[in-house]
Amino acid sequence: MEWLVSLLHATFSWISLNSLQASFLVLVILLFKLILGGYLPARFHYGVWFLLIIKLAVPLSLASPLSLFNWLPAAFSTPVPYPSSRAGTAALQVDVPLQPPHFVAHPDTYTYMPEEARFFWFDPLSFLWLLGVIVFAVATAWSARSFSARKLDIQPVQDVAILQLYASCKKQLGIAASIPLSISSAVTSPALLGIWRPRILLPALFLEKLDADELRHIFLHELCHYKRHDIAVNGLAHALLILNWFNPLMWYAVFRMRQDQEVACDAMTLACLRESEVTAYGYTMVKALELYANPQQSALTAGFASSKKYIKRRIHMIRRFQRTTYAWAAFSISAIIALGAFTLTGAQETWGKEPLFHLPVAGEVVSGGEQYAISIMNKESTPVKASAAGTVIKAAYDAKSGNHVVVAHEDGYQTVYAHLEKLEVEQGALVAQDQLIGLLGSTGRSTGPHLLFQMTKDGAPVDPLKYLPQQAAN
């Protein structure tokens, strides 16, 4: 069971980090649409959301100097670590023998620090996330079942004239696949249904109330959904939404994507019509709106329907519709590629990149040359600060080290602050660089006020002075 818990933790750690990064992408996309919305064609309003799908679906990203995350704290690029073995996560021991303040302990005289810190609160969050995924997955399956042929009492269209009109629409779009045209009294709006065996569903009332031109508009719209693979996109987006159910910004983003999808499908349909038919298409949309009260949608549908609130936007696009020129298409594609380079890439790993450590306390620094710790002497109660940002994995007292704090940092580094007079942080706390963590003292086996400062990299001791060149020189 240990490996299952570890896998769950690692999965949730990546999902939560990726969802946080995707939230920044959503905000950038919305800003991008706000600034350039009046210049971009409808299909590119929809296409820009594919950046979000790629971000949520692809676990890896290439490092780039252009990445947004180069300007954000490392916490936005680093998953939460998890110990390789719970059984091996014993209490941390910093075993420093009795020596004068200027003495620096040899590395063999204390045990190495564990490689990773365990966050006690992460286990319940991981299981809560898994429970949410299961609940939303079951709800989605139940919703999809309500659109099954048996539940909807689907009947094939028998009218020869309508079938001929439908066949001519398929031919116009170059679609040779078999896509049954059916009717149902249980649906309230036209919809394309299904990924593997798609079919177009029409409310039975539509065949009675709409004329041939209006039906042709609806057929073209639904077939454009098929040609654009919108059902598969909606299914993938919903699956990613289930994994990110805890992020309300993702729900809003998928909602906006579905709205932009309908507008983009309208634009593709209008491109298939003559100039004189553009206005008539708008009237078809209004008439269809009058015939249904609430459009039905699921993760595996794409339809002509839209709520009354958002139908105005589609009508506005129809009134302003112009066929996209090559220049505007090139500009839109370039803008989306540039946005992707800014948001889909990761923080750049430059040569020699390491956490920038600061001297934890002012005072006289004493080192034993090749030794692996330093003593910093000063008066009691002098503030001791975190050398770098990280997580407190131990804040405790023992007879040898006295009050001591251990902080885990990114890239496998850990720092130890021993013989403190007072602890100012607790285990599990997140600390910023230069944040107060304790007061200098002489607790434990010590002969005078000083701070014993130690460092490890991936569990092995390192010389702190190599990471504090400027402070040591001072």
pLDDT digits (tens, 9 = 90+) for 335-363: 778 777 777 776 655 444 455 789 999 88
- What is the reported pLDDT for 189? 80
Reported as a single tens digit per residue, the pLDDT across 274-321 is: 888 878 888 887 787 777 655 566 666 776 655 556 666 666 666 665
Distance CA 412, CA 277 (A): 65
Structure-token match 């920044």, residue found: 24
Distance CA 208, CA 349 (A): 64
Distance CA 176, CA 157 (A): 19
3-state secondary structure of 87: coil
- What is the reported pLDDT for 371? 59
CB burial of 114-136 (b: ≥16 within 10 Å; e: otherwise) equals: bbbbbbeebbebbeebeeebeeb
Q: Decide: 235 and 188 in contact? Cβ < 8 Å.
A: no
Give the CA angle between residues 306, 312, 317 to the nearest 5°.
Answer: 100
Instruction: Return the higher-pLDDT residue of 385 and 473.
Output: 385
pLDDT bracket for residue 137 (50, 70, 90): very high
Which residues, in sequence order, are CB contacts of 119 under 8 Å at separation 6+?
Answer: 80, 391, 428
Reported as a single tens digit per residue, the pLDDT across 397-450 is: 998 889 999 999 988 899 999 999 999 999 988 899 899 999 999 999 888 899
Q: Decide: 360 and 385 in contact? Cβ < 8 Å.
A: yes
- What is the reported pLDDT for 118? 41
- Is the per-residue pLDDT at 145 higher than 80? no
- What is the reported pLDDT for 153? 73
Distance CA 260, CA 228 (A): 13
Token duo for residue 24: 């920044």
Question: For strand 436-440 and strand 383-385, is the pairing parallel, antiparallel, or unpaired?
Answer: antiparallel
Handedness of CA 269, 162, 157, 176 (dihedral sign): negative
Token duo for residue 240: 């990613």
Mean pLDDT of the chain: 78
Report percent pLDDT > 90 for the chain: 29
Nearest alpha carbon to residue 33 among 22, 20, 44: 44
| Mean pLDDT on 159-187 | 90
3-state secondary structure of 175: coil
Handedness of CA 264, 268, 273, 275 (dihedral sign): positive
- What is the reported pLDDT for 404? 95
Nearest alpha carbon to residue 124 among 279, 9, 261: 9
3-state secondary structure 101-156: CCCCCCHHHCCCCCCCCCCCCHHHHHHHHHHHHHHHHHHHHHHHHCCCHHHHCCEE
- What is the reported pLDDT for 440? 96
| Mean pLDDT on 261-266 | 86
Structural domains present in the chain: 107-117+354-473 (2.70.70.10), 141-343 (no CATH)
- What is the reported pLDDT for 84? 38
Nearest alpha carbon to residue 168 among 213, 225, 199: 213
pLDDT bracket for residue 201 (50, 70, 90): confident
- Is the per-residue pLDDT at 390 higher than 70? yes
pTM: 0.64
Reported as a single tens digit per residue, the pLDDT across 66-121 is: 677 666 665 555 555 544 333 333 333 444 333 333 333 333 333 334 433 444 45
- Is the per-residue pLDDT at 261 higher than 70? yes
| Mean pLDDT on 1-22 | 80
Token duo for residue 442: 């002489």
Reported as a single tens digit per residue, the pLDDT across 45-54 is: 888 899 899 9
Report percent pLDDT > 70 for the chain: 72
